């Protein structure tokens, strides 16, 4: 019997290992494989023939891995040339692999689709498992990884808001990840319990930054005397469409922006004469297993298992996914999406989720996003 291989692409998440464990468990239960391999370091591991024996893990080890952050087999952003796909196909065939799963976002799904084509003549079936904190994969409702990033954004915002409210002497600008889409910064609004609670402004890349409107809004909140907290996406763009804080480094599709929170902080200080500071959780927001959404971990495992079952049934070129059927009560059904529909296609926040002035989210977004937190946020105590 052939083996099944799993490889990860792009940045890890707080629940990426849960997807891997779901795939391993489904493969074992199928009785159709002679083992399960993990590509060390993503597609680079496939090219180099560097594989970990996941089939040797017992139930206790899998349970520990499923709750761990990062990726137990590593991942990568290895740039791939057209000639690399036939090379990977040959590497898989030489290792006795008959089924392969790539876990990642729309960039990884592009590689998944290309690898599926290269592997078809060799009889290797390839499929995809969705994964991204950015929630920018098209067609599906949301991707594993996002819900945990959203829970972190909401919980961290609630704690920052309590700090600022306790000593309201400055404007605090919190920068969340989000290259082209504002899903994570938007989720910080789930921290609110009453009108007027932080974040007082939510700025996303979908809406061009208006400096005059931003400063006027910050000043209006400041005059209330409780301090100001702003949530902003790292990829915030100006009216010309260029990043407000230009990228400091770029490698392929991987873009590393300058600190937009620092840019806005300086703007507030210089134009309003108000003390301001910036905060940037960075990768902590995507790897914090302590604040991972229980729902996210469970769905990540389900997506791994669904993708594994699909390729083991000979159904290649498909990505596992979730489609929302109800917000209240929350319900999503499992689906399989042709990888071709999500290859390098970004899903931005829809207009219905953004306020008319472009500096907040709507109730429609909050209804959609709230169930993904997987339960109440940590208690931050009463205000006397």
Residue with tokens 């809004």: 217
3-state secondary structure (DSSP) of residue 211: helix
Q: How many CB atoms lie within 10 A of CB 64?
A: 13
Our answer to whether residue 134 is catalytic in this structure is: yes
How far apart, in Å, are the Cα atoms of 100 and each of 10, 74, 124, 315?
Answer: 17, 16, 7, 11
CA distance 373 to 205: 23
From the list 134, 136, 296, 360, the catalytic residue is 134
Question: Nearest to residue 320, comparing CAs of 127, 159, 155, 107?
Answer: 127
Contact criterion met (CB below 8 Å) for 87 and 41 = no
Q: Write the Ramachandran bin of 114: left for phi over 0, alpha for psi from -120 to 50, otherwise beta.
A: alpha
Token pair for 375? 């339960």
Contact criterion met (CB below 8 Å) for 116 and 132 = no
CA distance 297 to 164: 32
Contact criterion met (CB below 8 Å) for 237 and 244 = yes
3-state secondary structure (DSSP) of residue 252: coil
Taking the CA of residue 257 as centre, how many other CA atoms within 13 Å lie in the half-sphere pointing to its CB?
25
End-to-end CA distance of the chain: 66
- Looking at the annotation, which residues are catalytic? 134
């Amino acid at each position: 019997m052939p083996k099944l291989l799993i490889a990860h692409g792009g940045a890890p998440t707080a629940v990426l290992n849960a997807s891997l464990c779901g795939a391993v468990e489904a493969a074992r239960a199928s009785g159709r494989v002679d083992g399960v391999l993990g590509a060390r370091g993503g597609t680079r591991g496939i090219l180099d023939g560097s594989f970990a024996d996941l089939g040797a893990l017992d139930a206790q080890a899998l349970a520990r891995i499923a709750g761990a952050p990062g990726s137990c087999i590593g991942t990568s952003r290895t740039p791939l040339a057209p000639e690399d796909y036939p090379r990977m196909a040959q590497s898989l065939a030489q290792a006795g692999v008959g089924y392969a799963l790539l876990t990642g976002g729309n960039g990884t799904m592009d590689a998944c689709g290309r690898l599926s084509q290269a592997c078809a003549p060799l009889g290797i079936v390839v499929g995809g498992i969705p994964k991204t904190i950015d929630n920018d994969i098209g067609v599906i409702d949301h991707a594993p990884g996002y819900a945990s990033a959203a829970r972190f954004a909401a919980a961290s915002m609630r704690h920052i808001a309590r700090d600022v409210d306790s000593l309201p002497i400055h404007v605090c600008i919190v920068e969340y990840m989000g290259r082209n889409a504002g899903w994570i910064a938007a989720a910080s609004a789930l921290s609110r319990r009453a009108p007027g609670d932080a974040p007082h402004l939510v700025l996303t890349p979908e809406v061009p930054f208006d400096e005059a409107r931003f400063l006027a809004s910050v000043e209006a909140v400041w005059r209330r005397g409780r301090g100001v907290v702003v949530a902003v996406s790292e990829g915030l763009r100006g009216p010309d469409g260029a990043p407000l804080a230009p990228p400091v480094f770029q490698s392929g599709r991987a873009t590393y922006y300058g600190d937009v929170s620092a840019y806005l902080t300086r703007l507030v200080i210089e134009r309003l004469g108000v003390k301001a500071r910036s905060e940037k959780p960075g990768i902590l927001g995507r790897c914090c297993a302590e604040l991972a959404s229980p729902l996210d971990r469970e769905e990540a495992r389900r997506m791994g298992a669904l993708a594994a079952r699909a390729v083991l049934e000979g159904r290649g070129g498909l990505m596992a996914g979730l489609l929302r059927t109800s917000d209240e009560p929350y319900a999503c059904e499992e689906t399989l999406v042709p990888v071709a529909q999500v290859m390098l296609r970004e899903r931005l926040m829809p207009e219905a989720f953004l306020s008319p002035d472009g500096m907040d989210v709507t109730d429609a977004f909050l209804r959609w996003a709230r169930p993904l937190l997987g339960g109440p946020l940590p208690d931050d105590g009463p205000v006397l």
